[in-house]
């Protein structure tokens, strides 16, 4: 985050340097104002980006499915009720209805 904040700070410092060096010329003042405005817009954008990223991470944590139970070996195991359906079969999408004969 500090690396991202360095860019608006550098632009603001450049604006200050240009304002001092220009000596009050119109072009120098315009350049300084443009750099300062760009620094402000970039700083606000980075704040919104940080807030959105944290909200996305929080939402991902809230909707994360519970972890699967640990397996004792590498083979597919049946349900706890003993119906013999494999994990892949249980997770696949439903089949379309059969056509009548």
Say whether pTM exceeds 0.75.
Answer: no
Query: What does 14-79 look like in DSSP terms, one character per residue?
Result: HHHHHHHHHTT-HHHHHHHHHHHHHHHHHHHHHHHHHHHHHHHHHHHHHTPPPPPPPPSSSS----
pLDDT at position 4: 86
- Residue 42 covered by a domain: yes
- Residue 85 covered by a domain: no
- Residue 95 covered by a domain: no
pLDDT at position 73: 58
- Which domain, by its residues, includes 30? 2-62
- Residue 93 covered by a domain: no
- In a 10 Å sphere around its CB, with 0-12 CB exposed, 13-18 middle and 19+ buried, how is residue 15 labelled? buried
- Residue 14 covered by a domain: yes
- Residue 99 covered by a domain: no
pLDDT in tens, 45-81: 999 999 999 999 998 888 877 777 776 655 444 445 5
How many domains is the chain partitioned into structurally? Answer: 1
- Residue 30 covered by a domain: yes
| The residue to which tokens 């009548």 are assigned | 100
- Average pLDDT (10-39) is 94
- Residue 70 covered by a domain: no
């Amino acid at each position: 985050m500090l690396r991202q904040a360095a860019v608006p700070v550098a632009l603001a410092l450049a604006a200050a340097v240009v304002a001092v060096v220009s000596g009050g010329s119109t072009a120098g003042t315009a350049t300084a104002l443009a750099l300062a405005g760009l620094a402000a817009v970039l700083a606000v954008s980075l704040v919104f980006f940080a807030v959105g990223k944290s909200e996305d991470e929080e939402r991902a944590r809230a909707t994360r499915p519970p972890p699967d139970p640990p397996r004792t070996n590498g083979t597919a195991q049946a349900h706890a009720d003993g119906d013999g359906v494999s994990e892949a079969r249980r997770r696949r999408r439903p089949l379309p209805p059969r056509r009548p004969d």
